[in-house]
Amino acid sequence: GRHMYPAAPGGGRMGIAVAHSLQWPLDAFDITCGTSLIKALGGDKSAVKDGYLLQRFRGVVCCLTVPCRKHNADDAGHAVERLLCGTSAGLGSFEMVTSLRVGDLRFLVTSEVDACDGDGRVVELKSSSVASGMGMAPATTAL
Asked, for residue 76, whether it belongs to a domain, the answer is yes
Asked, for residue 5, whether it belongs to a domain, the answer is no
User: Looking at residue 83, what is its pLDDT?
Assistant: 76
Asked, for residue 127, whether it belongs to a domain, the answer is yes
Residue 87 has pLDDT above 50, yes or no: yes
Dihedral over Cα of 78, 81, 87, 88: its sign: positive
Asked, for residue 86, whether it belongs to a domain, the answer is yes
**Percent of residues, the chain, with pLDDT higher than 70:** 73
What value does the mean pLDDT take over residues 38-53?
A: 87
138 prior amide bond cis, ω within 30:
no
CB 38 within 8 A of CB 49: no
Encode pLDDT of 73-83 as tens digits: 677 777 777 77
Asked, for residue 34, whether it belongs to a domain, the answer is yes
Asked, for residue 115, whether it belongs to a domain, the answer is yes
User: Looking at residue 114, what is its pLDDT?
Assistant: 76
- Note the pTM of the prediction, 2 decimals: 0.71
CA quadruple 84, 88, 90, 91: dihedral, nearest 10: -110
Asked, for residue 78, whether it belongs to a domain, the answer is yes
Query: In the chain, how many domains are there?
Result: 1
Residue 30 has pLDDT above 90, yes or no: yes
CB 73 within 8 A of CB 5: yes
Encode pLDDT of 102-143 as tens digits: 899 999 998 887 777 788 787 777 776 676 666 666 555 554
Measured distance CA(21)–CA(10) in Å, rounded:
15
Which residue range(s) make up the domain with 85?
12-136
3-state helix, strand, coil in the chain (%, to 5): 25, 30, 45
Asked, for residue 98, whether it belongs to a domain, the answer is yes
Measured distance CA(15)–CA(109) in Å, rounded:
7
